[in-house]
Amino acid sequence: MQDRTTEGWIAGLIGMTIFSGSMPATKLAIAGFDPLFLTAARAALAGLLAGLCLWRCRAGVPAPRDLLALAVVALCVVLGFPLLSALALQAMPSTRSILFLGLLPLATATFGVLRGGERPSAAFWAWSVAGAALVCGFAARRGGAGSYGADLTMILSVIVCGLGYAEGGRLSRTLGGLRVICWALVVALPVSAAGAMATAPAQWGDIAPSAWAGLVYVTLFSMFLGFVFWYRGLALGGIAAVGQLQLLQPFLGFFLAFLTLHEPVGGQLVLTAMGVVLCVAGARHFSPARTPAR
């Protein structure tokens, strides 16, 4: 069991690392694409890839009892979070969005209790809250300005994403992470494909290469490969526990924003990141018992 838990944390760490590039990549992409098109296009392209993957793997059709859960995953992480975060990023720098992502582990753990049947201890919650406070405190000092509307949109995106993570992690215990994200993308494909065609740019020639690079990243990595690892990690290591790895995501995101968008990052990052690593380790130590997964 311990080996499976460790495997879950490793898979979760890989998924979190992939996700850390999502906000900077989205910021690059919306410089050339409308947020509605970006949301639909990334989901549609990833949906085609997912359909091919299911066909090649000869994956069976999910049981009827799983279809509603897959629809929730599709609504939350395939369509909801990408659209809401892209809309918010129109009025805030990507570094400010990381302030709100510091609340995502708490949202995931909360829905892990509500939807995944997990029962974290008081000590686990204390470490989780401490880590979120460190992340939010650091990001608040460095995140730049934003509007109330953008802030509220980003908060809503965090709630939606936490539900999608927990629901997908719960479902991955029986279906496996690859099948969950593939079927969620396929379920959303009719909507995403229609949306992409309806909101396609009138002119393609003026779109900068950096915007195309952002679209490729959020399609292949953020929308597909990251979820394969992330959902497996949640299933094997526990939704609430492995979800705490998201506390590290802002610091990778800050670094990537500095490299790609030249957004400034202060010298306090290293010390704060060390404190967050300690909180993640504490949360793992007091993490709840898990449900065995495939």
Closest CA to 93 of 142, 165, 55: 142
Residue 294 pLDDT more than 70?
no
Q: What HEC string does 216-260 produce?
A: HHHHHHHHHHHHHHHHHHHHHHCHHHHHHHHHHHHHHHHHHHHHH
d(CA 155, CA 166): 17
| Mean pLDDT, range 105-109, rounded to an integer | 89
Q: Which amino acid is at 202?
A: A
Residue 221 pLDDT more than 60?
yes
Q: Which residues contact 35 (CB under 8 A, 6 or more apart)?
A: 83, 86, 87, 89, 90
pLDDT band at 88 (very low <50, low <70, confident <90, very high): confident
Task: Output the pLDDT for position 142.
Answer: 57
Dihedral angle of Cα 263, 266, 268, 270, to the nearest 10 degrees = 60
d(CA 172, CA 63): 13
Question: Are the CB atoms for 224 and 50 separated by under 8 Å?
Answer: yes
Residue 199 pLDDT more than 90?
yes
Closest CA to 278 of 163, 130, 108: 130
Domain ranges within the chain, ordered by starting residue? 2-285
pLDDT band at 275 (very low <50, low <70, confident <90, very high): confident
